[in-house]
Structure 1
Amino acid sequence: MHRPLPRPLALASALSLALAAPAFAQDATSATTLDTVIVTGTRASNRTVLESTAPVDVLTAEDIRKAGVVNGELGSALQALLPSFNFPRQSNSGGADHIRAAQLRGLSPDQVLVLVNGKRRHVSALVNTDSKIGKGTTPVDFNSIPVSAISRIEVLRDGAGAQYGSDAIAGVINVILDNDPDSGAVEASFGAHHTDLKPIDRTITDGQTTFLSAKAGTRLGGDGGFIKAGFELKNREATNRAGFDLIPPWEQTDNNLALQGKRNYAMGDGHSEDVNVWFNGELPFGQDGNGRLYAFGTYNSRDTEGDNYFRYPDDSSNWPEVYPNGYRPVSLGDNQDLQLVAGARGQWGEWDYDASVDYGRNDFTYRLKNSLNASLGPTSPTRFRTGSYAFAQTVGNFDLSRVFNTDAATHTLGTGVELRREEYRTHAGDPASYAAGPYTDRPTGSQAGGGLSPQDEADLSRNVLGAYVSLSSQFGEKFSTDIAGRYEHYQDFGSQWTGKLAARYEFVPAFALRAAISNNFRAPSLSQIGYEATSTGYDAAGRLTQGRLLSVNNPIAQALGAQPLDPEKSRNYSFGFTSRVGEHFDLSLDFFQIDIDDRVALSEDITGDALTTFVEDNFGVSGVQSASFFVNAADTRTRGAELVANWRQALAGGQLLLTGTYSYAKTELKDIVATPAELLALDPDYVLFGVEERNTLTDATPRTRGQFAASWNNDRWSLQSRLSRYGSATRVFDFGDGYVPTQTYGAEWQLDLEVEYHVTPQWSVALGGQNVLDNYSDESNEDIYYFGNLPYDVLSPIGSNGAYWYGRVRYTF
């Protein structure tokens, strides 16, 4: 049962905290970041947050460090700090248990571009096929970027394809690494969830998390050269919020019923271990010392576990000789992530140049333990390597810019070229993970994810060429513009032109209007073009199935109506205003509309005897009970608004900062893809893109998010609080035969608190809690709580782990 914070109590709590001088995290813009010169979204060298022609948030290192205290996760920190950023903690969701996908402005995870020090970040290699949010995508793995390495993050909330290239439909997140050679820090924290789990009426302590980070720097070569490096070690124990098992009707044998009322399932975060290392450095060169050789890199090694559905003793997927009491498979992820960048920048006469090479790579190996290939009989292995995945990206950039003045304005001209090489490969798993054994009445392949077979292997690559020109202009003190145009040529999708025009006019010092219009582009990823997989698992209704995810080039998929994929294309519009009154108050309000054509998504699972018979009769492949493939599913329109307001005031010998933020984004479907005639000929009830996948694009995440944050600090104390409200969200399931259960989960409140005391200027200690009111989402209804086993929805932004309490010690030098 959820325990919402009533609105009057919520406001009273927040105001009392503020008046008592509590410290608030600086969630979108702060007293310092308002005057920070931004480098994202413009070529001008002197624009600040409120002077930008499109909305830009700046998050400081302190914001990120404190918000990411749970497991040291950058994704969790960004969700806490950015109302338009969603980072759900999915469970029993295949690859999404290991690499979590994030959304900006409610759009797909692959529609936001991530940069590190202004250089394109690579995506992950693992395709999320069993998740809800991010289904069918290979998102950027935010948690592979060390929290302690960050100097600040700039978030451009606007289409930016003409400035940065493909994928920047929702916006750009630019992570800027620490470049201060004269400082360092060592930090250690420990925390755990302590919660009252109402569905089982127990108080639980779990999810114990240990986090250690250290960083240091030194100057090199004089004249601004430096090297800064650090590492992080993280260990997080598992959490479990499963309920008591009521046993599905089709599983109610005597042996299975003996397990009724037990916690046979697991729901929550799996155990994880992380090692992060990073560096950032520069070295001057040239006779005048104006040139800079630079290099930076991050490396992440992460071992993770994921939960899966329980297999009952008397089930075709089990052999009692191996698991007399049934079993619950556990997925194992081995994630290796690397980014290395090297380059040089300097001046040629009046031109500034920047030349760089950027290499990024992600390798993921997927394994299972406590599993079984039932078709092999009682001698089946119980551990499997089900497949390995690799994505590599090499980017070469050469950029030129210069400032020139006319009688009317100051202009910054930028131009450059980019060459990008993308490579994607998958490799088969152990033969036992996909083998069809002699027991033909049993499901084939390892349970909880059949292994990739040799026929599933993919080996794809492509080259991308891009060239751009941009002009940022300042006409006097009141009017500024940003204009950009870009040409991109994909080896597999041809050419595309994108453009952007943005402007800002300051009527008076306290009020300015800004607007932008752009078109943007995202080519289907290599994984969406060529990924294939064979799986054995349970569908949404809890029934065991064997299925194939087919590429659009597969003859079976083409016989079912699959078509070559088209790129996604968007048209972005935004309009807003900014206001700053003295040194105390500032506000920005922006409205936006994003029209996207040909959005790429996975089709519904096509199931039934008609499919099985058709595939066997025409292709000689037996036992295919479900099939899916990627489609250009629909055109969509997303409309929304985003508000950021700050008040800062000297108070009681310290500084008080109050921040209020609000975001709204609503996505509607237009021109949904029709079910092809090939499918309708098999069964007139087949639907290519149905209610479940439509729900994924529209209502599965909250449309609204509000936040009130306050902070107060002086030389000794730092007090923080953050009150967040997550809007309602709707889940839709299609269990077949017209059975489409639906539930809307109500809005929820979350309160976070922290107090930090500086024992000395170098040493500090902190105590705090996240979700201190121990709030949960609504419990799922009987139609979709999987017979009592999964009482909470895995997509609730507030999560399903309850309150988290922690302590932290930090030493700076």
Structure 2
Amino acid sequence: MRRKSGKNQIGYTDTGVRRTMLSVAALAITCNGTAWAQSATAPAAATGATGVKPAETSATTAPSAPTRPPGLQLASRQAGATSVVLQDAVVVTGTRTSTKASQSLTPIDVISGAQLQATGQSNLRDALVKLSPSITREAYAGDTAQLTDALSLHGLTPDHVLVLINGKRRHTTANIALDGGLNQGSTGVDIDMIPIGLIDHIEVLRDGASAQYGSDAIAGVINIILKTKAHGGALQTTNGKTYAGDGFRNGESANLGLNLGDQGYLDLAAEYDRQNHTVRTGPDDYFGTFKPGHGYYNPIEGNPASTRESVGFNAGYHLNDDVELYGFGTYAHRDAQAYQNYRPPSVLPQIYPGGFVPTETVSENDYSITSGIKGQQNLFGWSWDLSTTYGGDHERIGMDNSANTGLFAAQGYTPTSFHLATISNTQLTNNLDFSRAFNVPLLPAPVNVSVGVEQRRETYSVGAGDEASYLDGGSQALPGLAPVSASDNSRNVLGTYIDLSTHLTPKWTVDLAGRFEHYSDVGDTTNGKVSTRYDFTPQIAVRGSVSTGFRAPSLAEEYYSNVSESPASVFGLLAANSAAAKLIGAQPLKPEQSTNYNVGLVLTPTRDLHLTIDAYQINIRNRIVEGGTASGASAIAAMEAAGLSVPGSIPASAVSASYFTNGASTRTRGIDLSGTWHTSFGVYGQVDWDLGVNLNTTSVTQVATGANGKPELNAQQISWLSTSTPKNKIIVGGTWHLDKWGVSLHETRFGSTSSEQTYIVGPNAFSTSQFLHFDNAAKYITDVEVRYDVTKKFEIAVGANNLFNVYPSKLPYQAQLEGSQYSAYASTIGEDGGFYYLRARYVF
């Protein structure tokens, strides 16, 4: 029977009898833009999640997005009510069959759209950092990486996290992180290009899944599930700024659900986000000529300014009882500006008598669209899903308020604004998936068989800057790319998988997955995964998994080259597979390989209390890092062979070059603990408590030796991989709600980090530098929000992130000479201090 729409009827009929999928009360919550409520009919709602008839649940295919949200439990029905999401939500990540998160074979968290909005963050990345103890971010990524919002899972790089939208692979950013730190070399997914108002919920799989999804899923998978409402919508505005008075932020969002006849839905969302600069830099005394506490004003340390507009849609239409057309897409444009190091008056007094601060800029367009068709058990008993996804990221990088001092010395003229480079990538992915349940004698349940094939084409191109940006040393702060560094690159990927799952006994579940992929540039890879779970009782279960994984080198790691310049040095990055890099020992990059182990305990003592504890180990071999560093004459020769300009004013001893290489092996061990508890206090309201703990340690177990006979990593690089993220992160708190009131209070403890900071030894900028070990103490961050429903449709909220204005530990004075007060690459709490905001939301 066909899917029906209307206020009181959403679902399928079974054997000709209509089954009402949701109660009127649940629909009221849905109309208010929050998650779907768990009710007595929730199992039926769950089976509707993939457009399946109730009897067909076991044969659903996970790659597709649900056409109905799973049954997320909420305890309040107010317009903006938020609550802890209990683990009874039906999930589709990490499995090829529909299952509740509490019954999953692997650890998975479910975060509702209402929870994301209640953080007061207009950036999706920062909202997830507030909600998940396993997710962190690099507070200051440096240079162009400041203009991309990337996250880390289990202390690994953004490249080790696979991001899906409705189960489909999302493209990465074109912007490679070049500065030091954990993110160096990464081109992770910038999830802030997705409007939060379009998101129904997010599933975070905290387990390796390369055998299921392919490259990048070493640390885990983030699957963003979009809304599927056929009616209603919301308007929201959020405004706030830091306690210091800067960094004003304005976020506006709107979403709308429409009914497509009586057979489908169309959800639309639009978002506007504006953030002003923050500056947290101390006095700049790079040349060592001022007394402590004095020096030049250098605004480099802090958040960039950015303006982002994004739109998105999610749609589905049923052609008949069993076949559905679907599609979804996003588009976002961002303009951002990041301050660079201050240049004193002596650099170019003719144009900048008071000195100048170069400002790096980006104009970015990010887009993605998916279309597909799927059917349920109508192809010889198989369910199937055929889809195509095309996405990409295009960035035009520039520099304002700068100068080309070499050009000025030669010709007496220099522009003050430059076009540095154009970088872009695209990803075209075609998927065909099949799934079917087979009855097997002697087994208590059918064997679910899923098979599929994926074809993907990736491109990466680099365009040169204008002549003035790279000639005669190039523009100050960051020279442009010369035509010799421009390139158009691509590769083809073909993969196939098989997944088998069943119950060996009524209490014992097993899942086997295998995947083969061929890359046109780095060859073949085969990976497998075994997951299992045993339920001793409905209240106690154990689970575990063993898997192998991989991450193919990104095209940016293989082909990107550039030169960066400070007042005292020049550094060149050479494309790993270029002839220039081979001059200093480079070899073609190989895929990273991993082995993942996970063992966990699931406890549900009562219906309202849910606890999980999972221990994991992730071994990564051939990890791609920046290495092979050469300096002096050999570095200059390699850079010139690559067409990179070296200013004549910089001595040869201050010139270095390197490339990306498979230079290290690491081992990450940790424990995840999560818990939710719903309590009722009668006339005094209800509280949903939540607890999240992550204990995480990464060790560098092996360092490769370069062609020069030296280790590929130094002490500073080792610390970036092993100690720049917290060894523990704990989130504890709850949400209280009573009638029209709601209060959320959470305390987050970020464990200590450490780094090897570079500092200057000597009287001037060309003196040698040394490493200084620095420990960043553990920090406690308090977040609070108070909400009030003025009417059933209109809510106001006031809140504070980092209520008590906590900052990272300050560096010793000798490491602050460039103006940085904090350990930029080892701070995860951010450098802005407290932030307060006011939010208003209207639902209809």
TM superposition score normalised by structure 1? 0.88
1:642 to 2:641 alignment: no
Alignment partner, residue 713 of structure 1:
737
Aligned to 1:459: 488
SS of equivalent to 1:153: strand
Q: How far has the Cα of 1:220 moved from its partner?
A: 0.9
Residue 206 of structure 1 aligns to a residue in which SS?
coil
Find the aligned partners of 1:130 and 1:242 in 2 and give their Cα distance: 18
Measured against aligned partners, the alpha-carbon deviations of 1:353-403 in whole angstroms (never above 9, x if no partner) come to 100000011001111101111001151001001001010000000001012
Contact 2:758 2:815 survives alignment (8 Å): no
The answer to whether the aligner puts 1:468 opposite 2:497 as a matched pair is: yes
What residue in structure 1 maps to residue 325 of structure 2?
Answer: 293
Q: CA deviation at 1:622?
A: 6.3
- Within-5 A mapping of 1:458-537: 458-535=487-564, 537=565
Which structure 2 residues correspond to residues 502-651 of structure 1 after superposition, within 5 A?
Answer: 502-535=531-564, 537-538=565-566, 543-603=567-627, 605-608=629-632, 611-612=635-636, 625-651=655-681
Task: Report if aligned partners of 2:584, 2:628 keep a CA contact under 8 Å in 1.
Answer: no
Cα distance, 1:689 vs structure 2: 2.0
1:208 matched to 2:239? The reply is no
**Does residue 334 of structure 2 align to residue 269 of structure 1?**
no
SS of match in other structure, 2:343: coil
2:287 to 243, 248, 264: 248
Structure-2 residue corresponding to 1:166: 215
Conserved 8 A contact 1:38-1:49 = yes
Q: Which residue identity does 1:217 align to in structure 2?
A: G
Q: Check conservation: 1:513, 1:577, Cα contact below 8 A.
A: yes
* Aligned residue among 774, 781, 794 for 1:750: 781
- 1:171-250 correspondence to structure 2 within 5 Å: 171-194=220-243, 204-223=244-263, 225-246=264-285, 248-249=287-288
In structure 1, C-alpha distance between the alignment counterparts of 2:149 and 2:254, rounded to whole Å:
25
Superimposed CA distance per residue, residues 33-88 of structure 1 (whole angstroms, 9 cap, x where no aligned partner):
4111110011122x111211110000011111122x23x10000111111111122
Pair 319,396 (structure 1): closer, same or farther in 2 beyond 3 Å: same
Assess, with a 3 A threshold, how the Cα gap between structure 1 residues 506 and 810 changes in structure 2: closer, same or farther. Answer: same
Contact 1:96 1:131 survives alignment (8 Å):
no
Instruction: Call closer, same or farther: CA 1:770–1:628 in 2, change over 3 Å.
Output: same
TM-superposition CA deviations, 1:680-702 (whole Å, max 9, x none): 5xxxxx65321222111111111
State the alpha-carbon separation in 2 of the partners of residues 282 and 733 from structure 1: 53
Q: Is the 8 A contact 1:726 1:798 kept in 2?
A: yes
Say which SS state the counterpart of residue 434 (structure 1) adopts: helix
CA RMSD after TM alignment: 2.3
Which of residues 206, 231, 234 in structure 2 aligns to 1:157?
Answer: 206
* Partner residue in 1 for 2:705: 674
Does residue 829 of structure 2 align to residue 776 of structure 1? Answer: no
2:334 to 287, 290, 302: 302
Does 2:838 match 1:807? yes
Greater displacement, 568-577 / 583-592? 583-592
1:362 is matched by which residue type in structure 2?
Answer: D
| Structure 1 position 246, deviation (Å) | 3.8
State how far apart, in whole Å, the 2-side matches of 1:752 and 1:552 are: 44
| Match in the other structure for 2:22 | none
CA distance in 2, matches of 1:260, 1:776: 21
Give me the TM-score of the superposition, normalised by structure 2: 0.85
Question: Shift of the alpha carbon at 1:607?
Answer: 2.8
Displacement of 1:735 after TM fit?
5.6
Letter in structure 1 aligned against 2:743: L
Q: For each residue in 1:708-730, what CA deviation from the matched residue of structure 2 results, as whole angstroms up to 9, or x when unmatched?
A: 02111133111101100000111
| Partner Cα separation in structure 1 for residue 173 and residue 422 of structure 2 | 12
| Alpha-carbon distance in structure 2 between the residues aligned to 1:614 and 1:38 | 51
Question: Comparing 226-235 with 778-787, which one deviates more in the overlay?
Answer: 778-787
Q: Which residue matches 2:722?
A: 698
Q: How does 1:331-410 map to 2 (within 5 A)?
A: 331-347=360-376, 348-377=379-408, 378-406=412-440, 407-408=442-443, 409-410=445-446
**Residue identity in the other structure for 1:372:** A
Query: Cα deviations across residues 748-783 of structure 1 (Å, max 9, x unaligned)?
Result: 000000011111111111011000001111111123
Q: Is structure 2 residue 765 aligned with structure 1 residue 731? A: no
CA distance in 1, matches of 2:645, 2:174: 28
Partner of 2:471: 435
Structure 1 residues 257 and 434: alpha-carbon distance in aligned structure 2, compared to 1, 3 A threshold: farther
Counterpart Cα distance in 1 of 2:638 and 2:277 = 43
Q: 1:168 and 1:266 mapped to 2: Cα distance? A: 34
Question: How far does residue 651 in structure 1 lie from its aligned partner after superposition?
Answer: 1.6
The size of the alignment, in residue pairs, is: 744
Paired position in structure 1 for 2:115:
63
Match for residue 50 of structure 1 among 102, 106, 124: 102
Where does the alignment leave 5 or more consecutive residues of structure 2 unmatched? 1-74, 77-81, 761-767
Counterparts in 2 of 1:30 and 1:384: CA distance versus 1, 3 Å: same
Query: What's the secondary structure of 1:126's corresponding residue?
Result: coil
Shift of the alpha carbon at 1:261?
A: 4.2
Aligned to 1:17: none
Identity rate, percent: 35
> Which digits, 9 at most, give the CA deviation of each residue in 1:410-468, with x for residues without a partner?
322111100000000000001100012xxxxxxx1111111011111121101000000
- Is the deviation greater in 737-746 or in 101-110? 737-746
Higher relative contact order (CA 8 A, sep 6+): 1
Cross-structure match for 1:657: 688
The gaps in structure 1 that reach 5 residues or longer are 1-21, 24-28, 195-203, 437-443, 681-685
| 2:344 alignment partner in structure 1 | 312
- Secondary structure (helix, strand or coil) at the match of 1:40 reads coil
In 2, Cα distance between equivalents of 1:761 and 1:262: 54
Q: Call closer, same or farther: CA 1:756–1:619 in 2, change over 3 Å.
A: closer
How far does the alpha carbon of each residue in 1:556-603 deviate from its partner, in whole angstroms, 9 at most, with x for none?
Answer: 321211111111010111111100011232110000111111000112
Who is 2:127 aligned against?
A: 77
> Are 2:314 and 1:280 equivalent residues in the alignment?
yes
Report the secondary structure of 2:734's partner residue. Answer: strand
Q: In structure 2, the residue corresponding to 1:529 is in which secondary structure?
A: helix
Report the counterpart of residue 32 of structure 2 in structure 1.
none
Q: 1:87 to 1:787 in 2, by over 3 A?
A: closer
Q: Single out whichever of 371-380 and 165-174 deviates more from structure 2.
A: 371-380
Is 1:428–1:453's contact at 8 Å kept on the other side of the alignment? yes
Q: In 2, distance between residues paired with 1:617 and 1:119?
A: 41
- Contact 2:139–2:829, Cα closer than 8 Å, also in 1: no
Using the alignment, how far apart are the partners of 2:784 and 2:514 within structure 1?
45
Partner of 2:137: 87
Q: Contact conserved, 1:640 with 1:663, CA < 8 A, in 2?
A: yes
Structure 1 counterpart of 2:108, one-letter code: V
Q: Which amino acid is the alignment partner of residue 209 of structure 2?
A: A
Q: Answer whether contact 1:569 1:596 (CA < 8 A) is retained.
A: yes
- Give runs of aligned pairs for residues 76-115 of structure 1, distance below 5 A: 76-90=126-140, 93-115=142-164
User: For the residues of structure 1 that align with 2:498 and 2:523, how far apart are their CA atoms?
Assistant: 20
Q: In 1, Cα distance between the equivalents of 2:750 and 2:682?
A: 33
1:762 maps to 793
Structure 1 residue 793, shift from structure 2 partner: 3.3
The alpha-carbon distance between structure 1 residues 757 and 631, as it changes in their structure 2 partners (threshold 3 A), is same
Secondary structure of the 1:62 match is helix
2:93 matches 1:40? yes
Cα distance in 2 for residues equivalent to 1:218 and 1:379:
58
**3-state SS in 2 of match to 1:674:** coil
Which piece of structure 1 moves more, 598-607 or 78-87?
Answer: 598-607
Q: Partner letter of residue 757 of structure 1?
A: Y
Contact 1:415 1:469 in 2 (8 A): yes
